[in-house]
Copies of this chain bind each other. A is one copy, B any other.
């Protein structure tokens, strides 16, 4: 009672004082540059570049598994499209890597309740061969539970790891709940397991499995490793709860080959000052093999490319904008590593990527918060009308620009709403219809703002002399 009576009094007396103090101590007002605002608003209202790229790439190429012939076709498509859009210096920077491809796959409960489950192999899974393997299921609800189990409980069996990932706006569940995929196969292999199946690292309830990369580390022998769909994992848990031994027949055929070819597709909006540090943006061109890679990551390269195109349409920036459609991100960020190595001598004003779908950006963070608060304030002011808040505690991320940032480039992260991202991520369901064009335009507007703020100023193109 005492507290309840006191609280309103405190508020009444404290609030005006606090408000006066705050207003008095506010920094000078920051208003977005009207030129930046105009470019942003035009992109928000009118952008079609991003949709045209996503629609074209997913329709005319479809899936683009890293280091395959499909990814090669995607690079050809990319060079053609980026050239047609007017970008300069469009070229492929090739690199070599191992290629992993999927064959036939199926999972079947043999006993006690015969039925088929839907499964997909994880990247770099070992192969069962066409005849498959049969083993008893041993069930764990986390990687830690598997690690704590005696080897004798696992040896010769098919490990099943469960989890309970839920949707989160910032996608933060993916780190913790992705452990069964990233570490499970290695731990299971080291304990002598015959194979491993995990509950898909996803937040949906559809019969579409979520694949994704994993590596066998610490000298572990590759074993067959697959992801059951979420409904199938829940079904397996119900079957296990009956308390009888559960036997599964698992077929995961796959193949791995060294020395395959991938590459980054690079395009530029040349700056007026070729020596000025570069703005590096992009997304990745490769995709997993079962969807058409619309949200992961045709959207990301389309958004950043569209933003660069809006700058190009407005004139010539002081700094060069380099757009990269990275190759082979999914199997381990090969493209990002290759780009950083090939361009070790380049200096950057910023590096940023879009690789989390196309739903609205809700916050951003940047190295400029510390290194140049005035620029950070300009970024904040220009993004605020799009509903984007600044996050001063953010850290750099991104598989593709990561190596370049580690080498010293200032970074920026524009965070998309990830609430429904893991419903589709790495599944056959990653298709064009999952993209909301209005939200994608907000993304393009945000990246256009960022490039405009950091461009060093955009001047109208000098009129070219007409040919006679």
Each complex incorporates copies of this chain amounting to: 2
1/0 per residue A346-375: CB within 8 Å of B? 000000000000000000000000000000
Say yes or no: B235 contacts A432, CB within 8 Å. yes
- In Å, the complex CA distance between A116 and B114 comes to 29
Nearest B-chain residue to A428, judged by Cβ: B207
Selected from B63, B208, B433, the residue in CB contact (under 8 A) with A115 is B63
Say yes or no: B206 contacts A429, CB within 8 Å. yes
Interface residue tally of chain A, by bracket?
A: 20 to 34
List B contacts of A113 (CB < 8 A).
Answer: 59-62
Chain A, range 43-71, C-beta contacts under 8 Å to B: 55, 58-63, 70
Chain A, range 410-453, C-beta contacts under 8 Å to B: 427-429, 431-434
- In Å, the complex CA distance between A29 and B203 comes to 51
Q: Is A393 an interface residue (CB 8 A)?
A: no
Q: Is A291 an interface residue (CB 8 A)?
A: yes
- In Å, the complex CA distance between A428 and B207 comes to 6
> Closest CB-CB distance, A53 to chain B, in whole Å?
14
> Closest CB-CB distance, A20 to chain B, in whole Å?
52
Selected from B55, B118, B205, B208, the residue in CB contact (under 8 A) with A238 is B55
- In Å, the complex CA distance between A238 and B431 comes to 13
- In Å, the complex CA distance between A241 and B113 comes to 47
Q: Is A133 an interface residue (CB 8 A)?
A: no
Q: Return the 4 tightest CB-CB contacts between A and B, nearest first.
A: A62-B115, A207-B428, A231-B431, A59-B238
Supply 21 A–B pairs (Cβ within 8 Å), ascending by A.
Answer: A59-B113, A59-B238, A61-B113, A62-B113, A62-B115, A63-B115, A118-B428, A205-B433, A205-B434, A206-B208, A207-B290, A207-B427, A207-B429, A207-B431, A230-B433, A231-B429, A231-B431, A231-B433, A234-B432, A235-B292, A238-B432
